[in-house]
Amino acid sequence: MNETTRTYDVIVIGGGPVGENVAERARAAGLTTVIVERELLGGECSFWACDPSKALLRPVVARADASRIPGLDPAVAGPLDVEAVLAHRDKMSSYWKDEDQVDWLNSVSVDLIRGHGRLTGPKRVAVQTPDGDTIALTARHAVAVSTGTRAALPPIPGLDTVRPWTSREATSADKVPGRLAVVGGGVVAVEMATVWQALGSQVTMLVLDNGLLERMEPFAGELVTEGLREAGVDIRFNTTVTSLTRDGGEDGEVRMTLSDGGQLVADEILLATGRAPQTRDVGLETVGLTPGDWLTVDDTFRVTDVDGGWLYAVGDVNRRALMTHQGKYQARIAGAVIGARANQEPVDDAPWGAHVATADHAAVPQVVFTTPEVASVGLTSREAERSGRRIKVVDYDLAHVAGAHQYGEDYRGRARMLVDTDRNTVVGVTFAGPGVGELVHSATIAVTGEVPLDRLWHAVPAFPTLGEVWLRLLETYRG
Ligand SMILES: Cc1cc2nc3c(=O)[nH]c(=O)nc-3n(C[C@H](O)[C@H](O)[C@H](O)COP(=O)(O)OP(=O)(O)OC[C@H]3O[C@@H](n4cnc5c(N)ncnc54)[C@H](O)[C@@H]3O)c2cc1C
């Protein structure tokens, strides 16, 4: 076993999309930077989350859209070509190889050390390499933890014996299970139920709550429920698994006892029951933090409970918004802040805006790629009510927008805009319906830009697009 030591300005633990961007920005600020990555550079998003899941969903959503268009519907009446869909998914996941991302990292002059990184004290990190060697790293300015999350599994008796699917298996499996049980009702659950039902599984969803997508506006979950049921998914609300076993070894069936006393048998079970931070084994105890905790940060991504201001936590691991685009936004800010502080520049004077994350609190956009799609940004009406603001909720039936007619004959969808009546600005928007994913950025600009409604009237939507919903929402608001 060899032991070597190296010093960098900045050490980033975790080379997912967020760690990569922190490193690139810190390097662009002139700091020597290294990423420590124990698996694949590109992280969960590139290999077991965003990229493979969207590659699997795209043909399903495109087929659903095409099947509503007269003249096109016969062409998409048959089943999906499963082999081709999975092959495309493999390609979009770069065949689980990260050479391209390594090339990119080289091109921006950031070093990479493969191995498991652990803090060993202030500004110090030890990397255990796959060969069993240890590399001791010291940071002159900052360490950023961007170790992301893993699937959180509920403590169900028998779980350790059934080899359940998590989001990793659900996005990388190369066989279609005949029967798939999906536990959960959030984004991963609804997206993966959509995929596997379309690829030929009989999917049963076991949902603890009384509806799907409970963190969003209720109509979004209702429309997605309708879509999944029409596709043939069996959705059981207020139900969960109380115990389970797998019969007859590796390929046997999974037998579940349910909270309503019933039984369910499936070939695979997917647990889409939330995420937990990957902080159990990163040496948090050496800097006074508790292993396994989420890391709490300020708006410049400094960990609040550590003295000296050298430790940052960026991306999923800080729990502010578990999405790649939001983590990369945080990374751009954190990398620039680290650079500014190291170069003794003011942190709120960057050319492209303040070095402080505000969007995390006010305007997090999200798209759920189901049939129909859901897109939202900012507050939901429930959150707005809790915030104590004076809000007017404006609803519009998307089927009445001219652009919706281009999507076929029985368009079903809805839009909701929340107006802060004291400030005359939009503070939240939710759309549900075919094609709404591409609308979300218009809503994000309205919310983030705090565009007064008087000005929004002058943002003229093109005819005939779904964007005309903005005009209808304004008209409905005016009354
Ligand atoms: C099924 C699924 C679909 C999703 N789809 C979308 C989507 O469409 N759009 C979207 O915006 N978001 C999506 N997300 C969320 C998105 O994947 C995450 O928000 C994103 O990956 C977070 O990036 P990150 O860099 O913070 O963490 P990660 O991507 O988890 O990367 C963390 C990295 O750190 C490494 N690491 C961990 N511990 C150590 C250690 N001790 N030493 C060295 N390396 C370590 C890991 O190997 C990993 O490479 C999806 C998530 C799931 C589960």
Instruction: Report the pLDDT averaged over residues 289-312.
Output: 96
Instruction: Please write the tens of the pLDDT for every residue from 396-443.
Output: 999 999 999 999 888 999 999 999 999 999 999 999 999 999 999 999
Q: What distance lies between CA 223 and its chain's CA centroid?
A: 20
Best residue among 45, 94, 96 to mutate for probing ligand 1, ranked by most atoms within 8 Å of CB? 45
Q: What percentage of the chain has pLDDT greater than the value 90? A: 92
Instruction: Please write the tens of the pLDDT for every residue from 110-134.
Output: 999 999 999 999 999 999 999 999 9
Cα(108) to centroid of ligand 1, in Å? Answer: 21
The two three-digit tokens of residue 56, written as one number: 């699997």
Best residue among 54, 323, 360, 368 to mutate for probing ligand 1, ranked by most atoms within 8 Å of CB? 323
Nearest ligand 1 atom to the CA of 316 is: 26
Confidence of residue 248 (pLDDT cuts 50, 70, 90): confident
More confident residue, 349 or 453: 453
Nearest ligand 1 atom to the CA of 325 is: 11
Backbone angles phi, psi at 118, to 5 degrees: -140, 140
Burial class (CB in 10 A: 0-12, 13-18, 19+), 387: exposed
Confidence of residue 352 (pLDDT cuts 50, 70, 90): low
The C-alpha atoms of residue 355 and residue 352 are separated, in whole angstroms, by: 9
Domains of the chain (ranges; CATH) run 3-42+98-150+277-353 (3.50.50.60), 159-273 (3.50.50.60), 372-478 (3.30.390.30)
Instruction: For residue 47, give the DSSP letter.
Output: H
Q: What distance lies between CA 222 and its chain's CA centroid?
A: 21
The C-alpha atoms of residue 415 and residue 374 are separated, in whole angstroms, by: 10
Q: What angle do CA 120, 125, 128 make, to 5 degrees?
A: 100
The two three-digit tokens of residue 421, written as one number: 């009546």
Confidence of residue 90 (pLDDT cuts 50, 70, 90): very high
Instruction: Report the pLDDT averaged over residues 337-355.
Output: 77
Instruction: Please write the tens of the pLDDT for every residue from 173-231.
Output: 999 999 999 999 999 999 999 999 999 999 999 999 999 999 999 999 999 999 999 99
Best residue among 24, 25, 50, 301 to mutate for probing ligand 1, ranked by most atoms within 8 Å of CB? 50
The conformational region for residue 18 under phi > 0 = left, psi -120 to 50 = alpha, else beta, is alpha
Q: What is the CA radius of gyration of the chain?
A: 24
Give CA separation, 278 vs 112, 219, 453, in Å. Answer: 20, 33, 43
The C-alpha atoms of residue 441 and residue 181 are separated, in whole angstroms, by: 34
Q: Whose CA is nearest to atom 45 of ligand 1?
A: 14
Torsion of CA 204, 206, 211, 216, to 10 degrees: -90
Among the ranges given (257-266, 326-335, 350-359, 372-381), the one the predictor scored with the smallest mean pLDDT? 350-359
In sign, the C-alpha dihedral spanning 151, 157, 160, 162 is: negative
Strands 268-271 and 179-183, sheet pairing = parallel
The closest of 44, 43, 41, 21 to 113, measured between CA atoms, is: 41
**Annotated binding-site ranges for NAD(+):** 184-191, 274
Instruction: Report the pLDDT averaged over residues 77-96.
Output: 97
Nearest ligand 1 atom to the CA of 324 is: 11
CB 431 within 8 A of CB 398: yes
Q: How many CB atoms are located within 10 Å of the residue 344 CB?
A: 6
The chain-wide mean pLDDT, for the chain, equals: 95
The C-alpha atoms of residue 337 and residue 328 are separated, in whole angstroms, by: 14
Instruction: Report the pLDDT averaged over residues 469-473.
Output: 98
- The answer, yes or no, to whether residue 353 has pLDDT greater than 60, is no
The C-alpha atoms of residue 449 and residue 426 are separated, in whole angstroms, by: 9
Ligand 1, CB cutoff 6 Å, lining residues? 13-19, 36-39, 43-45, 49-50, 53-54, 116-117, 146-149, 167, 171, 188, 278, 282, 315-316, 322-325, 327
The conformational region for residue 247 under phi > 0 = left, psi -120 to 50 = alpha, else beta, is beta
More confident residue, 347 or 99: 99
pTM of the model: 0.97
The closest of 418, 423, 426, 431 to 469, measured between CA atoms, is: 431
Cα(477) to centroid of ligand 1, in Å? Answer: 40
The C-alpha atoms of residue 20 and residue 35 are separated, in whole angstroms, by: 7
The two three-digit tokens of residue 286, written as one number: 């050496």
Q: H helices within 173-315, ranges in order?
A: 187-198, 218-231
CB 400 within 8 A of CB 426: no
Nearest ligand 1 atom to the CA of 192 is: 1
In the prediction, which pLDDT does 424 show?
97
- The answer, yes or no, to whether residue 8 has pLDDT greater than 70, is yes
Best residue among 324, 366, 367 to mutate for probing ligand 1, ranked by most atoms within 8 Å of CB? 324
Q: What is the DSSP string of 378-430?
A: E--HHHHHHHT--EEEEEEEGGGSHHHHTT-SS---EEEEEEETTTTEEEEEE
In the prediction, which pLDDT does 94 show?
98
In the prediction, which pLDDT does 246 show?
93
The C-alpha atoms of residue 218 and residue 215 are separated, in whole angstroms, by: 8
Q: Whose CA is nearest to atom 19 of ligand 1?
A: 323
Instruction: Please write the tens of the pLDDT for every residue from 147-169.
Output: 999 999 999 999 999 999 999 99
